[in-house]
Amino acid sequence: MYVHRQISRHFLPPLSKHRHKYIIVIYICVIFLLFTAVKKDKLRSIDTKKDILEDKNEKVISESSPDYVTDEERDILTKSFRTADFDGDKQLSQSEISMAISRETKQHILKAMRNNFRVFFSLDKIHKNGQVDWEEYFGHYLRDLLGLDEATITEIGKKPERASRDIKESLSRLKASWSEAARTNPDAVNIDEFLGLEHPESSHSFLTQRVDELMGKFDADDDGKLSRSEYLLDPFKDLSPDEMQIRNKEFSDVLDKNKDGVADKKEIVQFLDPKNPHWANDEAISLIHQADQDNNQMVSLEEMIAKPDLFLVSKLVSADLSFHGEF
């Protein structure tokens, strides 16, 4: 207003009273418009910042949310969760997870043993000699386990070097498993060896083999028993204090069942048996440690779905995948 007065005084003729009022109104309107424009700019800036924050929040939620879980996987996880939730409180405790894993493990092993005879004799059809030869099992592996069509199987037989990398890796694992199982004849397996080939976790002979390996590793004085000091001394690596503590507790609570200070072969067989509850308890502790986000020592369905890769291959959800992996 001061500037307007100076300009009017020196350069403009005197204004009438009505014209002067008119100019004042114009100035007021201009000031109001400027104020409104500034306010809109501030609001626009706030909205822009808000949009940026919302975008960031959406990005964080998108990165942390389990959007990559398929409907089928979600259904599998939900079904397993509800089956394990014995008390219906919508939380899985360590004991609930452990009991569910033990149940799934026992059912898997029982099913494997029941099916062993049926599958074995269905494959013994080329020579019908009471054994499954490599040729017989190789076709079964490609067709029934890898799910390959006949054209692909024929191509692999003629030109194995052209097989995909995944198939080559699967065949390498198969050959290693076959060599491990076929102990009496490198070209064929008997019915017990067949069980060790298909389901080593169910085979008593395979379990006995693991006992011998454990004794060979730890039984320093070759007396056929393991003392506490022998079990705590790993010849192939230095154990940390925490690992020593875990082993010491494991020896007291699991290995030495009769509390005589040593573990004999019978106790070691029971210890290594996958049906032993301590394996289920160990896996339950591990699952809770990795999935428990709110630190309540339990796992909710949301926490389970947030870690699908962890649970889908666990014995809580699939003992078959846990024991055998994907072919």
Q: What is the model's pLDDT at position 8?
A: 43
56 and 78: one domain? Answer: no
Give the residue with greater pLDDT, 202 vs 14. 202
DSSP bridge pairs for 133: 188
Indicate the pLDDT class of residue 36, thresholds 50, 70 and 90.
low
Whether 100 is in a domain gets the answer: yes
Q: What is the model's pLDDT at position 175?
A: 94
207 and 302: one domain? Answer: yes
Reported pTM: 0.72
Q: What is the model's pLDDT at position 22?
A: 52
9 and 49: one domain? Answer: yes
* Sign of the alpha-carbon torsion through 282, 94, 289, 90: positive
Q: What is the pLDDT of residues 74-105, one digit of tens each?
A: 999 999 999 999 999 999 999 999 999 999 99
Q: What is the pLDDT of residues 251-260, one digit of tens each?
A: 999 999 999 9
DSSP bridge pairs for 299: 92
For the chain, the domain total comes to 2
SS3 track for 115-149: HHHHHHHHHCCCCCCCCEEHHHHHHHHHHHHCCCC
Cβ-based burial of 236 (10 A; exposed 0-12, middle 13-18, buried ≥19) = exposed
Q: What is the pLDDT of residues 140-163, one digit of tens each?
A: 999 998 999 999 999 988 888 889
| Extended strands (E) in the chain | 132-133, 188-189, 226-227, 262-263
Indicate the pLDDT class of residue 215, thresholds 50, 70 and 90.
very high
Query: Hey, what amino acid is at 12?
Result: L
Whether 136 is in a domain gets the answer: no
31 and 104: one domain? Answer: no
Whether 190 is in a domain gets the answer: no
Indicate the pLDDT class of residue 33, thresholds 50, 70 and 90.
low
Whether 187 is in a domain gets the answer: no
Whether 184 is in a domain gets the answer: no
| DSSP β-ladder status, 188-189 and 132-133 | antiparallel
Whether 163 is in a domain gets the answer: no
Token digits for 19? 């014209």
103 and 22: one domain? Answer: no
Whether 60 is in a domain gets the answer: yes
3-state secondary structure of 185: coil
264 and 323: one domain? Answer: yes
Tally the C-alpha atoms within 13 A of residue 308's C-alpha that lie toward its C-beta.
Answer: 16
Q: What is the model's pLDDT at position 206?
A: 87
Q: Which domain holds residue 302?
A: 71-110+203-327
60 and 83: one domain? Answer: no
239 and 315: one domain? Answer: yes
Whether 165 is in a domain gets the answer: no
